[in-house]
Chains A and B, each alone.
Chain A
Amino acid sequence: MIQRLLRRLDYLLHRRRYDAELQEEMEFHRAELGRRGSGEAGPADGSPGRRQANGFSPGESQLGNVTLAREDARAVWLAPWIESVWQDVRIGARLLRRSPVVTIVAVATMALGIGANTAVYSLIDGALLRTMPVPEPDRLVFATETTPSGVSTRDFTERTFEQLRDDNRTLSGLAAYDDSRVSATIDGQPEMVRGDFVSAQYFAVIGTSAARGRLLLPSDDQPGAPGVLVLSDEYWRARFGADPAVVGRAMTLGGLPFTVVGVTPPTFHGRYVSGRSTDVTIPLSAHAALALHDHTTLELIGRLRPGVTLEQASADLDGIYRRVLAGDREAFELDEKRGRVGLSRGAHGAVDGALGPKDRRQVVTVVAIVALVLLVACVNVATLLLARGASRRKEIAVRLSIGAGGARLFRQLMTESLLLAALGGAAALLVARSTASILRYALPLPDLTFNPWRDAAVLAFTAGVSIVSGLLFGVAPALASLRVDVNAMLKGGAGQGASRRRTARAGRSLVVAQVALSIALLVSTGLVLRSVGNLRRVDPGVNADHVLETGVYPALLQYDRPHENQLYQTVTQTLEATPGIQSAAIARYALYHAGVNYVSPGLFATLGVPITQGRDLTQVEVAAHAHAAVINEPAVSRWFPGERTVGRLVPRELAGALGPLTIVGVVPAINPSYRRPQAKPTIFVPYTLASNEELGQASLYVRTRGEASASAPAVRSAVHSVESQLALLDLEPLTAELEGSIEPQRATAALLGVCGALALALVALGLYGTMSQAVARRTKELGIRLSLGARPGELLAMVLREASTIAAMGLAAGIPLALASTRGLSHLLFGVGLVDPLTLVAVTALMMLVALGAAYVPARRAAHVDPLIALRQE
């Protein structure tokens, strides 16, 4: 049955080829008949009985029969209903092509409405609804520890893990994991990869099997076992080009040899339902050697034994934990470590734990808003179709009068609406990814990578929403179109009494609503755009032009402290000797870090930060581990307001365990983002003063002479000439980071701007339609006025006045709406109040301009009515 349907569809899509083939084949048949017929039986032997019997020997009057035969043969393919639906679709497509502006605006409106819903759905689906694609996902649990004050963590020590794993009676398996960046070298190319360090049972607990090769075995997680790793499907495709022979390949991790033993399936995202998965999975035994220094704790995932409840298992684990604490004096003394151990469901693994009630409310609010957006979009498109329906009244009246069934016409109009909705849905899928990344700012959910075209649930949701919206916005215009008075319409009469006037009034109120809505959107857009401008003007404290930033992790290459210090010095010196590079420096922490930062001399020159008092740190001070410090101005104004600072000691509160530090210089606040400057008191000391745990990684800043990104390859090769295995993490211009800091504002402004522009287009089309109808309806009246001596300019002004009245009513409703809705944006605003006169004036002026522009064409038409023609028209 389905195959038959597919064959029919194939016919519809390749109709021309099918028909041509049939025709050629039948011509061949006739040719053969002619060729052989003359020799064999056929017309020559011509007995009348025979001829009557077969009735189609070649020759005379066969043409009609042939055409008929061909029609019969074709008809086989066309189930009657398919034929007529197909016809509707073609007519619909033709009509949509005929009014491209209306079609484009309608499709774009629906794309936004549907796209917002698709985006929110995919975020919620990925984060909340979907469970992990593993057997019995409900049995997966995460271990958490909750302190009496209600703070939850998932961090456990290795010792606690081992006790919980070995002593519990309620879990069929418990595994530990930690993710960390890992320094890898593949074919001599160093790079940073995302690594998951996992204990022996990890894959068994989650319940997945290898797509290629094998996964990790308990024997791999032994000290001294040869280094093995498993690639994720994503990384295998991206880095190894999905090489089928990848199993057995060698990789270097943190300077140690490893062998690829397998690849995980594409559906496996570690502990997550979907989204960014890890690159490599490594036995936990390599954790201490390869992970970052500050990664000392593990998270735990387990699988309940069949029939065991979450509560029973939680009680079991908590009991074991109490015993561990009792036996471990050191842990026991850590008061905060005395929380209760519990378990939470792990199958919806994209979100850390369940959503709190506040988050839940936020999700519900966002869902309500996007549903409302879709509804508004549907109303707008319905209005658009209503207006266009008016211009098609005559066509429909003709079709009704020559006997087309009302139901048939209704179906055709609905097909057209569904076609529009389908186009809108397809467009929505195109923008869903970017819409999702913007809407994420409004949702307490992680950003999940998804491909709407490959995700069956998202596709089905979008299709469903499209169909429902198509029905929603299609019904009213279709019914209105069919409610025509055929006689009056065909007679060409303009006077159609009350119903026509009622439609006009409805149309007018819709335009008022549209104006109000676009005002709200445009005001919001204006406020966010002004915030972007204001944020850009914030002084980040650094001169980011010509600066490259990257991260290095010597600790991941088993560097000890003396070698690490040596490395930083050699790398910066080598870079400074490289052509095109002016200076280079390192800092342990990101620049917005407050408190103590460990830096190399030249950091301030590299970043373009002026030293306002004293001097920078020196190489000598670094080499000598000298207790010297550069202090920032917020610290000066807090501890030494208006006093001489250089030469004094750093306040103990700031120096902490570093002991006495002599201040050698003062710098302004550094805040390398356009976010609100909140620079806190900070000191910069030689990196050689950092304890072993504190160092191990650093940010590297390079000031270039030319364009920053052009020097990236030079920086890379200079660093690699010093240490061939040292990978650079995200080598980027510092300006990119600055721009990234205002990404939420820019993205929101873009989204609102697109919505606002569409809303304006809808207003323009709506007003144009309303005024055109009004002018058409009053042609006679206008004619009388003209013949009584009204000047055309007066009529023009009259129509424009009417349009401005509509716009003014919309403004009156829209401005309060705008003021109410911008409240939701307050967290994105910077340097503008919620009531911004400039924005309000600009938006009002823009709206009036659009309204007058849209009304101008009908107004001119009114002014140029020919009184004679107008009066004769009845």
Chain B
Amino acid sequence: MALTNQPPDLLPGTLDLLILRALVAGPLHGYGIAERLKVVSQDVLHVGESSLYPALQRLLLNGWVKAEWGASENNRRARYYTLTAAGRKQLDAEREEFERLVTAIQRVLKMA
């Protein structure tokens, strides 16, 4: 069974990191972010509204992303999120931290 995507099961802060990473390529709306994560993770990470929107608000509050209204692919009003400079810095920092953590976990798992 796939790893569930509910926040308690992800490492803390991981969702924020994933969202920031998804925005590196360019602005996306909320649904687009969920889709991107789903596609890139090859259908493993399904991010639901109940974790996506609080996470986006958190990123807004911290000033790591900014939001602007624009038109979606099918010309509906959609809110697009863009990475800010502070967000980019945060992404780098968290990414490093995450990799350190994953390496550590792998070391433990692979111990003889």
Contact = CB atoms under 8 A, between A and B. Distances in A.
Interface in B47-87: 48-50, 52-54, 56-58, 60-63, 67, 69, 72, 74, 76-79
Nearest to B4: A53
Given A3-B63, A74-B57, A77-B57, A24 B77 contact: yes
B35 to A, nearest CB: 8
Contacts of A76: 54, 57-58, 61
A12 interface: no
A262 to B, nearest CB: 40
A353 to B, nearest CB: 54
A69 B1 contact: no
A33 B6 CA distance: 18
Contacts of B62: 4
B76 to A, nearest CB: 6
Q: Which 10 A-B pairs have the closest CB atoms?
A: A54-B46, A69-B50, A76-B57, A56-B48, A73-B53, A32-B31, A72-B54, A25-B79, A73-B54, A69-B49
Contacts of A66: 49
Residue among A28, A29, A66 facing the most chain B CB atoms (10 A cut-off): A29
Contacts of A73: 53-54, 56-57
Given A8-B61, A49-B1, 20 more contacts: A4-B61, A25-B29, A25-B53, A25-B78, A26-B53, A28-B29, A28-B31, A29-B30, A35-B74, A50-B2, A53-B4, A54-B46, A65-B50, A69-B48, A69-B49, A69-B54, A72-B54, A73-B53, A76-B57, A76-B61
A336 interface: no
Contacts of B56: 73
A53 B49 contact: no
A849 interface: no
Nearest to B50: A69
Interface of A: 3-4, 7-8, 21-22, 24-26, 28-33, 35, 41, 49-50, 53-56, 65-66, 68-70, 72-77
A440 B57 CA distance: 54
22 contacts: A4-B62, A4-B63, A7-B61, A22-B57, A24-B77, A24-B79, A26-B49, A28-B76, A29-B30, A29-B52, A30-B49, A32-B72, A50-B2, A53-B2, A54-B46, A65-B49, A66-B49, A69-B53, A73-B53, A73-B54, A76-B61, A77-B61
Nearest to A49: B1
Give the dominant DSSP class at A's interface: helix
B79 A72 contact: no
B92 interface: no
A698 B57 CA distance: 74
A145 to B, nearest CB: 63
B43 interface: yes
B53 A22 contact: yes
B14 interface: no
A28 B77 contact: yes
A25 B1 contact: no
B5 A25 contact: no
A227 to B, nearest CB: 54
Give the dominant DSSP class at B's interface: mixed
Contacts of B1: 49, 53
A50 B44 CA distance: 10
Nearest to A73: B53
Contacts, number: 85
A424 B108 CA distance: 65
Interface size class of B (residues with CB under 8 A): 20 to 34
Contact of B6 (A28, A50, A55, A75): A55
B61 A21 contact: no
B81 to A, nearest CB: 10
B5 A54 contact: yes
Contacts of B60: 7
Nearest to B59: A76
Contacts of A31: 76
B53 A72 contact: yes
Contact of A56 (B2, B50, B61): B50
Contacts of B6: 55
Contacts of B52: 29
Nearest to B69: A21
B86 to A, nearest CB: 9
Nearest to B1: A49
Residue among A24, A28, A30 facing the most chain B CB atoms (10 A cut-off): A28
A26 B6 CA distance: 18
Contacts of A56: 48-50
A73 B57 CA distance: 6
Interface string B1-21: 110111000000000000000
A33 B72 CA distance: 14
Nearest to B44: A53
Contacts of B43: 41
Contacts of A49: 1
A14 to B, nearest CB: 13
Contacts of A53: 1-2, 4-5, 46
Nearest to A21: B79
A33 B31 contact: yes
A31 B29 CA distance: 13
Contacts of B54: 69, 72-73, 75-76
B79 A28 contact: yes
Contacts of A72: 50, 53-54
Interface in B24-44: 29-31, 34, 43
A68 B53 CA distance: 11
A24 B67 CA distance: 13
Contacts of A8: 61
Nearest to A22: B53
Nearest to B74: A35
A22 B60 CA distance: 12
Nearest to B79: A25
A55 B63 contact: no
Given A3-B63, A7-B61, A73-B54, A54 B77 contact: no
A33 B32 CA distance: 10
A652 B63 CA distance: 89
Residue among A30, A56, A65, A68 facing the most chain B CB atoms (10 A cut-off): A56
Contact of A25 (B30, B50, B63): B30
B57 to A, nearest CB: 4
A120 to B, nearest CB: 43
A771 to B, nearest CB: 54
Contacts of A55: 4, 6, 48
A410 to B, nearest CB: 31
A5 to B, nearest CB: 10
A445 to B, nearest CB: 48
A28 B52 CA distance: 14
